[in-house]
A = this chain, B = another copy of it.
């Protein structure tokens, strides 16, 4: 009866790619839910998420059993389970560091708030920007980072600063107690154990695109 609750306490190693697929499944489920669909098979979930039915079942089986044999999965139930697995039951408090073009685009991006990522503080080091209002909050001096992260209980930082500055900012952020980082600067960050970094690197994406295009010729 109480099967399929949460991830196993004995942590098997879960691959990065499996987690990314879970995120895609969740997106698909949300779409189905909006469309009013109640049940979904691994077959259909796979088709809409660009993978295979076996892969879907295997991915889910890493965390429990969420389906009813002969019927499929309840859209709402599986959605809840995935949100639980991905750690999305709580809202996350995020610091945006860098109030330039990318920072601004991210700040305005509705998708983040909708999914429970609240940008509760914005930082920059440019005196001409510090003190300006963005939405409800004010752009703060990055020097205040360590204090503010503690005060506002911030867990995640988004680094949208120039590549020269990024390691320095990262060091401040990890000293401040940030545990997860989304890094937009094209440099591998050195971080202490216990801090997780994800890189978003447009040039890599474009270059893997041009590789594919040149191969095709």
Number of interface residues of A (CB under 8 A): 57
Q: Cβ of A19 < 8 Å from any Cβ of B?
A: yes
A182/B210 contact (C-beta < 8 A), A101-B109, A105-B101, A194-B216 known: no
Oligomeric state, in copies: 2
Chain B neighbourhood of A188, CB < 8 A? 24, 48-50
Whether B215 contacts A7 by the Cβ 8 Å rule is yes
Question: Per DSSP, are chain A's interface residues mostly helix, strand or loop, or mixed?
Answer: helix
Starting from the known contacts A48-B188, A156-B213, A179-B216, 10 additional A-B residue pairs (CB-CB under 8 Å) come to A20-B204, A27-B203, A87-B213, A102-B105, A111-B202, A112-B202, A112-B203, A115-B206, A180-B209, A198-B206
Nearest 5 Cβ contacts at the A-B interface: A87-B214, A101-B105, A87-B210, A105-B105, A23-B207
